[in-house]
Amino acid sequence: MAKTYPRLNDLDEPVFDKPVIEIAAEVPPGGALAVKSAKEYHSDRQRAWYWAVAVKALVDIGYSQGEADMILKATCGSTLLKKEALYIGRDADNKPITATRLSIVGVGKRNMSKFIDNIIAASITNEWFIQPPEIRE
């Protein structure tokens, strides 16, 4: 079994102004660097915004985290997000019972951007007061 280590430090911004050797010198013993493409970085930031801003805004007005997640995915992303079939069990006739869950993991940048646009639009009409993501130049 592979050994895992706790994450000690994250850089929230990409680093372009330092040589990789200088960045590696700052890594503590036993640490590692995660190198992400621009697309992976962008997708990670979109998912982080979803949980930290969109879901939290609904939690702040009284929904549980699970309810907020389900409401946003069902109302704003049912055609954009990945669908996962979950096996629940078998019924009295021994037929499998499944449920479909919407997931943001593995969703492409374009569909995630459309999902965020739908959340902002729904926020305006439903008065959820969700702040749009920052746009960085």
pTM for the whole structure:
0.73
Please determine, for residue 106, whether its predicted confidence score (pLDDT) is greater than 80: yes
Tell me, yes or no, whether 20 lies in a domain. no
Tell me, yes or no, whether 60 lies in a domain. yes
| Phi, psi (degrees; rounded to nearest 5) at 98 | -130, 160
Tell me, yes or no, whether 19 lies in a domain. no
- Write the pLDDT tens digit of every residue in 8-41: 566 666 666 778 788 778 877 777 777 777 788 8
- The domain tally of the chain equals 1
- Please give the residue range of the domain that contains residue 93: 38-126
Tell me, yes or no, whether 85 lies in a domain. yes
Let me know: does 111 contact 83? Beta carbons within 8 Å. no
Tell me, yes or no, whether 15 lies in a domain. no
Q: Helices marked H in 32-108 — which ranges? A: 38-49, 56-60, 65-76
Tell me, yes or no, whether 136 lies in a domain. no
- Write the pLDDT tens digit of every residue in 92-101: 999 999 998 8
